[in-house]
C-alpha cells in the first residue's frame, strides 16, 4: 500500500477538484481550479525522480548525448529525430536529465490540457480519467510515445473535419518522436466512420473467445513468419516470445472492467453518438483498445503497448457515460463506482517497489543509488 499512496492521493486531489469545479459557476474560480490541475501535474511528474522502469535507459542515453555543435557528426542516433533534437536542445541549454524530464512534462501537459478543454467540460475529472487509464505510464515510462499520442489526439479535430493536410502534418511531427505514429496516419481513413453496433459486438465476442480460450493468435503468426526469415531473426523472435509470454490469463478485475466498458458502450451507443459530432472517433478508439488488448493478450508488452495507442478513448467515453444516465441517482452511483474503481486501479498498478515516488525538489536518491535499488527489485516487480 505504501508505494501507491502518492498516486492515490493524486487521484483524490483531482477528484476533489472535479467536484468543486462541477459545483461552481464562478469563472474565476474555475480558472483557479484549472491552474491547480496543471500546476499539480507538472509538480508531480515534471519533478519526478527515478521511478518505474524506462529512466534506466533514458538517463544513460541522455548523458551520452552531444550538444548541437557535434550532433550531426554522430553516425547513429539513438532515438527518432524529433525526440533527439528535443533532448539535445535541452542538454545544450541545461545539461541535466531532470531539466529534460521537466520540459517533456510541460509539453505533454500543454497538449493534454488543450485536448481536454476541447472535448470535456470538467478538466479535473479528465485528469482523473487520464491518470487512471494508462496516464501514469505515459507520463513516466513512455516519454517518446506519449508525445506522439498527445499530438495525435490534438489532430482529431482535423480528422473529423476531413482536413488531411493539417492532420498528416501533425502526425508526421508525431512520427519524429515515435514511429508508432504511422498507425495514427492510417486511422484517418477509418476512425471517424459509424460502424454497425452488431458488427462491433460480433468482433468483440470473437476477441473474447480468443482471450478466454487461450488461443495463441500472435504466437502462431510469429511462428509462420519465423519459418521464412533468417536464422538470427528467428532466434530473436523465439527469445522474445519466451520472455514476454504471459503465464496465464483469463478472468480478472481488469477483464471485468473492459467487459463492463463494452457493455455500457454497446447499450448507450446511440446516446453517445448524439452527444458530440466526434463521438464515433472515441467509440471506435475504445473498441480498438479493447479488441487489440484481448487478441494480443498472450504477450504482455505487445498487448499493453499496441492497445495503449488508443487508450485516449477511455478518457472521453467514461466521462460521457455519466451523461447517459437519465436519473440523477444513477449518475451518482456511477460516479461513486468510477471514483472507487480509479483508486483501486491506481493501487493495483502502482503498489510495488519500483513505483516508489521521489520528487527532485526534495531529498531524492542519486542515479547510482536508485539503480542499485532498481536491480534489487526488478525481478520481484516485473509484471
Q: Quick one: pLDDT at residue 217?
A: 64
DSSP state of 362: S
User: What end-to-end distance do the CA atoms of the chain give, in Å?
Assistant: 17
**Residue that is written with C-alpha cell 456511477 in the block:** 334
**Residue that is written with C-alpha cell 515516488 in the block:** 357
Longest Cα–Cα distance of the chain, Å, equals: 67
Quick check: helix, strand or coil at residue 112?
helix
Phi and psi at 277, nearest 5°, equal -70, -25
3-state secondary structure 156-206: HHHHHCCCHHHHHHHHHHHHCCCCCHHHHHHHHHCCCCCCCHHHHHHHHHH
Q: Quick one: pLDDT at residue 170?
A: 96
Q: What is the pLDDT along the chain (383 residues), one digit of tens a residue?
A: 689 999 999 999 999 999 999 998 888 999 999 999 999 999 999 999 999 988 988 998 898 888 776 666 666 777 899 999 999 999 989 989 999 999 999 999 999 999 999 999 999 999 999 999 999 999 998 999 999 999 999 999 999 999 999 999 999 999 999 988 999 999 999 999 999 999 999 999 999 988 888 776 666 666 656 555 555 455 545 555 554 555 545 677 888 999 999 999 999 999 999 999 899 999 999 999 999 999 888 777 778 888 899 999 999 999 999 989 888 888 889 899 999 999 999 998 899 889 999 999 987 788 888 888 888 877 655 44
Kindly report the number of other CB atoms within 10 A of residue 202's CB atom: 11
Nearest Cα residue to 262 out of 288, 225, 232:
288
Mutual angle of helices 5-23 and 27-41, in 10-degree steps: 170
Chain centre distance of CA 343: 17
List the domain boundaries for the chain: 2-214+249-381
The CA distances from residue 60 to 48, 65, 297, in Å, are: 17, 9, 31
How many Å apart are CA 381 and CA 374, to the nearest integer? 10
CA angle 325, 11, 342 (to 5 degrees): 50
How many Å apart are CA 358 and CA 30, to the nearest integer? 30
Burial class (CB in 10 A: 0-12, 13-18, 19+), 315: buried
Sequence-ordered list of residues with C-beta below 8 angstroms from that of 101, at least 6 positions apart, any chain: 46, 48, 143
Cross-strand bridge partners of residue 48: 359
Convert 164-195 to b/e letters by CB count within 10 Å (16 or more is b): eeebbebbeebbbbbebbeebbebbeebbeee
Quote the cell numbers at residue 9: 492521493
Amino acid at each position: 500500500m505504501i508505494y501507491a499512496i502518492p498516486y492515490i492521493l493524486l487521484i483524490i486531489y483531482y477528484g476533489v477538484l472535479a467536484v468543486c469545479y462541477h459545483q461552481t459557476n464562478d469563472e474565476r474560480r474555475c480558472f483557479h481550479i484549472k491552474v491547480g490541475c496543471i500546476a499539480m501535474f507538472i509538480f508531480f511528474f515534471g519533478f519526478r525522480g527515478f521511478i518505474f522502469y524506462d529512466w534506466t535507459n533514458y538517463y544513460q542515453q541522455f548523458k551520452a548525448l552531444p550538444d548541437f555543435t557535434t550532433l550531426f557528426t554522430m553516425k547513429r542516433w539513438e532515438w527518432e529525430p524529433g525526440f533527439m533534437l528535443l533532448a539535445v536542445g535541452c542538454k545544450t541549454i541545461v545539461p541535466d536529465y531532470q531539466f529534460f524530464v521537466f520540459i517533456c512534462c510541460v509539453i505533454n501537459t500543454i497538449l493534454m490540457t488543450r485536448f481536454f478543454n476541447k472535448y470535456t467540460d470538467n478538466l479535473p475529472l479528465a485528469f482523473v480519467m487520464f491518470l487512471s487509464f494508462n496516464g501514469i505510464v505515459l507520463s513516466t515510462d513512455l516519454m517518446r510515445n506519449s508525445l506522439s499520442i498527445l499530438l495525435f489526439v490534438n489532430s482529431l479535430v482535423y480528422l473529423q473535419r476531413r482536413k488531411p493536410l493539417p492532420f498528416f502534418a501533425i502526425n508526421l511531427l508525431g512520427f519524429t518522436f515515435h514511429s508508432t505514429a504511422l498507425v495514427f496516419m492510417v486511422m484517418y481513413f477509418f476512425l471517424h466512420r459509424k460502424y454497425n453496433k452488431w458488427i462491433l459486438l460480433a468482433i468483440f465476442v470473437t476477441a473474447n473467445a480468443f482471450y478466454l480460450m487461450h488461443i495463441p493468435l500472435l504466437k502462431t503468426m510469429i511462428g509462420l513468419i519465423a519459418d521464412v526469415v533468417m536464422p538470427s531473426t528467428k532466434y530473436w523472435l523465439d527469445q522474445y516470445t519466451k520472455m514476454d509470454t504471459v503465464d496465464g490469463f483469463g478472468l480478472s478485475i481488469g477483464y471485468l472492467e473492459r467487459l463492463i466498458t463494452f457493455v455500457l458502450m454497446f447499450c448507450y451507443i446511440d446516446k453517445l453518438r448524439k452527444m458530440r459530432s466526434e463521438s464515433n472517433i472515441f467509440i471506435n478508439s475504445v473498441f480498438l483498445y479493447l479488441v487489440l488488448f484481448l487478441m494480443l493478450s498472450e504477450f504482455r508488452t505487445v498487448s499493453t503497448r499496441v492497445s495503449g495507442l488508443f487508450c485516449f478513448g477511455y478518457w472521453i467515453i467514461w466521462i460521457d457515460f455519466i451523461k447517459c444516465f437519465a436519473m440523477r441517482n444513477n449518475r451518482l452511483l456511477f460516479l461513486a463506482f468510477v471514483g472507487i474503481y480509479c483508486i483501486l486501479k491506481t493501487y493495483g498498478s502502482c503498489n510495488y517497489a519500483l513505483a516508489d515516488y521521489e520528487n527532485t525538489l526534495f531529498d531524492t536518491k542519486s542515479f547510482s543509488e536508485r539503480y542499485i535499488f532498481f536491480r534489487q527489485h526488478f525481478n520481484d516487480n516485473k509484471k
